[in-house]
Amino acid sequence: MLILCLSFGIAILDQATKFLVMHNLFIGDQRSVIPGLFNISHVRNTGAAWGMMQGFNVGLVALSAVMLVVIVGFRRHFMPDGRLYRVIVGLMVGGIVGNLIDRLRLGFVVDFLDFFWRTHHFPSFNVADSAICTGVGLYILSQCLASGKMAAPASAGESRGPRPGDASP
């Protein structure tokens, strides 16, 4: 139930914020929120993250559909069941659905969160992108922490079992 609620909430929030941007800003317009750091802009992205694969909308729709099937259908094969992993799946599914709705309905994704610092500019993104990246980041972090626990050296006095070449007891 957590996955469904979170996915639905992310997709609705994503679509609502994009609706507000499309109805309050012309394409290419921007409004300063934090001068010198953050604007709300109206950008049409026909590609993937950071504008890669521009004009490849049909392929990105297919990729999104495949990823939804893999994440929802096979998640138990690559992640354990637990609250953190349900949150991760909810974030990723909600984000994919939010951008997929744009791709199917509009033929592009609406991006509007625009961060920059002096001459450095981060590509515009949206709520769905944030959810996907957060979900993937949490998954990677959880896997790194889990593998770190498994690979941690034994403390002094703990037996790690026989080593290769040791005689059997």
The label of the residue with tokens 């769905």 reads 128
CA 74 from chain center: how many Å? Answer: 18
Amino acid at 101: I
The reply to whether 111 belongs to the active site is yes
What region, left, alpha or beta, does residue 118 occupy, with left being phi > 0 and alpha being psi -120 to 50 degrees?
Answer: left
The reply to whether 81 belongs to the active site is no
Q: Which of 102, 111, 114, 166 is catalytic?
A: 111
Report the candidate in 108, 112, 106 with the shortest Cα–Cα distance to residue 125: 112
Amino acid at 58: V
| Helices of type H across the chain | 2-24, 57-78, 83-105, 127-151
Amino acid at 25: L
Q: Which of 14, 102, 114, 129 is catalytic?
A: 129
Q: Which active-site residues does the annotation give?
A: 111, 129
